[in-house]
Amino acid sequence: GITLLLFVGAMGKSAQIPLFTWLPDAMAGPTPVSALIHAATMVTAGIYMITRSNILFSHSEITQTVIAIIGISTALLAATIAIKQNDIKKVLAYSTVSQLGLMFLALGMGAYTVAVFHVITHAFFKACLFLGSGSVIHALHGEQDMRKMGGLRKVMPITFWTMLISTLAIAGIFPFAGFWSKDEILMVAFEYNKALWIVGSIASIMTAFYMFRLM
């Protein structure tokens, strides 16, 4: 019982279904703030809390099942929303929600180490992506609509390369960090429950799709 209530707190903090809408709205803030707070530090607090109290959670199979299901549902839903977004920061915001869902999937399966590993790798590549998007927005004098962008590689080579590296990382391309952490989550899911593995793989493929759409 108490673990479910703790998880509700984690859902709000870490933007899971149905409490995820505040995160994209919070993207109105400055980009460095988004990079630190909304990608790396604050939103992963719910995952940290569950990992720290894993003794309680390991005793409750019901809670763990709920965590896994909500995590995978969030990962899939946020990925589908990200594909249709046109605001560069909104895409990254829903991408963050999607990755947090994968972390909760790992927690729900009892793979606490794997979840924290993904927290760490995600913090690096997502912060890099947000700072890159800030660089683009600044260069375009505040324009955030991706439909009005294009051909920036020639004029912003450094931003292009840093964003390409972090895009490859979040898409799970070998040998970047995201490949290792996502692979671990999907491997645990494969052994735990094939249905979770299939949905998780679909969400991850969608990640690659909307990130290269952004690129």
Chain mean position to CA 145: 21
Residue % of the chain over a pLDDT of 70:
100
pTM: predicted TM-score of the whole model, two decimal places: 0.91
Residue 30's φ and ψ, nearest 5 degrees, are -65, 150
pLDDT digits (tens, 9 = 90+) for 142-156: 889 989 888 888 899
Task: Check residue 133 and give its pLDDT.
Answer: 92
Distance CA(192)–CA(127), nearest Å, equals 31
Q: Is the pLDDT of residue 37 over 90?
A: no
Q: Is 17's pLDDT higher than 90?
A: no
